[in-house]
A = this chain, B = another copy of it.
Amino acid sequence: MAHTLQELTEYLATVGMPATVDGDASKTVTAVATLEDARADEISFLANPKYEAALHTTQAGAVIVASDQPRPDALSVIRTKDPYAAMTAIVVRIHGYRQHEQVGMSDAARVHPDAKLGANVNVHHGVTIEADVEVGDDVVLYPGVYLFKGCRIGAGSVLYPNVVVYPDCILGRRVTLHAGTVIGEDGLGYAMVEGKWHKIPQIGITELGDDVELGANCAIDRATLGQTHIGTGTKFSNLVTIGHGTKIGKHCMFVAQVGIAGSVQVGDYVTMAGKVGVAGHLKIGDRAKLSAMSGVMRDIPDDGRVFGIPALPYRQSLRATSAYEKLPETTKQVKQLEAQVAALAEQVTALQQQLAKQSERA
C-alpha cells in the first residue's frame, strides 16, 4: 500500500513524534529501506550525521532526517527530532509485524487428549503436545515444537520451529521464542559420590513472564527446586543460557551469548552486552549495565556499570585498561628507574664519602 509523506507525518504526530515535510508532501512510498538499497518508491532515514554524504547518492523517494539536517534540493525529507525512532514507527505503519499463516490444527500434529487448547490456535504439522499441557488463545506453534507434559503456554505466544518446552514449565502471555530455543532442560546438578557424578533430580521449573522474547538456540535451565524465572518484558538475543534457579528481572536486555550461572538474582532493566558471564549466587542490581565480554565475580549494586574479566566498576576499568595498554612501557620505565636509582645511590654514597674525608681534613 502506498503512503504519502503527508500521511506519514500525520501518523508520526499521533505516536508522539512531531514531524514536518520539507519537499513534496504528496509523494508516495510503499516500503522502508536503507539509504543504500532504497528505490524511488521507498523511504529511508539518516540518523547518524557521519553518513550524510549518502543523502546525495541515495535513490530513495524520501528520507527521514533530523530537524536541522540540510537536504539536497531534489530530495523530499520528513524532519523530526529522532529519525531512527521515526523510522521504526514508519516501519510498523507500512510493514507491520510478521503475520503468521492461519493454519489451524494440523492433522499431522500429535495432541494428547488431556491437553487443553484455547481458541484460534495454530498448530503446525509435526508439533507434539503432551498430556496436561495448556495452550492459550491465539498461540502459534511452528513445526517441530515439542511441549512436554504439564507445561503452560500463555495466550498470544509464538513458538518458532523446533522450540522445546520441558515438563511443567510456564510461559506468560505473548511470549516469543525463536527457532531451536529450549526451555526447562535439566541444570548441571550432580553430586560426586565414590568417584562418579550422581544426578540430582531437577524438580523445579522455568517460568517466563509476559512479553518475554528470546532469540534462537537459547537454553534456560529448570530449577533444582522452585523456579528459574525470567521477568515480564525481558528480551534476549541468540545463544543465551541461564543456570538453574536464577531469577532475571523485568524489562532486561541481554545480547547474544550471555551466560548466567545458577542461583543468580538479576534486577529489573539490566543490560548485559554480548558474551557477558556471571558467576553463581551473585546479585546484580536494577538498571546495572554490563559491558561486552565482562566476567562478573562480585555483586553489582543498583545502577552499577562494569567491564572486564574480572569485571571492575566502569571508570576504574577504563583506567586499568588504558594503563594496561601502556604496561610494556611502564615496565620498561620501572627497569630504567631501578638503574637510575642504583646509580644515584652510588653517587650519593660517593658524595657522603667525599664529604666525610673533607670533614676529616678540616
Contact of A110 among B108, B235, B256 (CB under 8 A): B108
Within 8 A of B (CB), among A152-209: 160-162, 164, 166-167, 178-180, 182, 185-191, 195-197, 199-201, 203
Do A337 and B327 have beta carbons less than 8 Å apart? no
Count the A residues whose beta carbon is within 8 Å of the partner chain — how many?
123
Please, what's the 1-or-0 string for A51-93, where 1 marks a CB less than 8 Å from any CB in chain B?
0000000000000000000000000000000000100100110
Do B162 and A180 have beta carbons less than 8 Å apart? yes
Do A37 and B226 have beta carbons less than 8 Å apart? yes
Contact of A312 among B215, B325, B334, B361 (CB under 8 A): B325
For the complex with contacts A334-B337, A351-B352, 6 further pairs of A-B residues with Cβ separation under 8 Å are: A124-B128, A126-B143, A178-B219, A217-B219, A239-B239, A348-B351
Do B167 and A178 have beta carbons less than 8 Å apart? no
Which of A2-10, A133-141, A314-322 contacts the other chain?
A: A314-322
Contacts of A249 in B (CB 8 A): none
Contacts of A322 in B (CB 8 A): 328
Within 8 A of B (CB), among A303-334: 308-310, 312, 316, 319-328, 330-331, 333-334
Contacts of A182 in B (CB 8 A): 178-180, 216-217, 238
Contacts of A256 in B (CB 8 A): 188, 219, 241, 243, 259, 261
Do A203 and B32 have beta carbons less than 8 Å apart? yes
Do A238 and B241 have beta carbons less than 8 Å apart? yes
Do A251 and B180 have beta carbons less than 8 Å apart? no
Contacts of A351 in B (CB 8 A): 348, 351-352, 355
Whether a CB of chain B sits under 8 angstroms from the CB of A345 is: yes
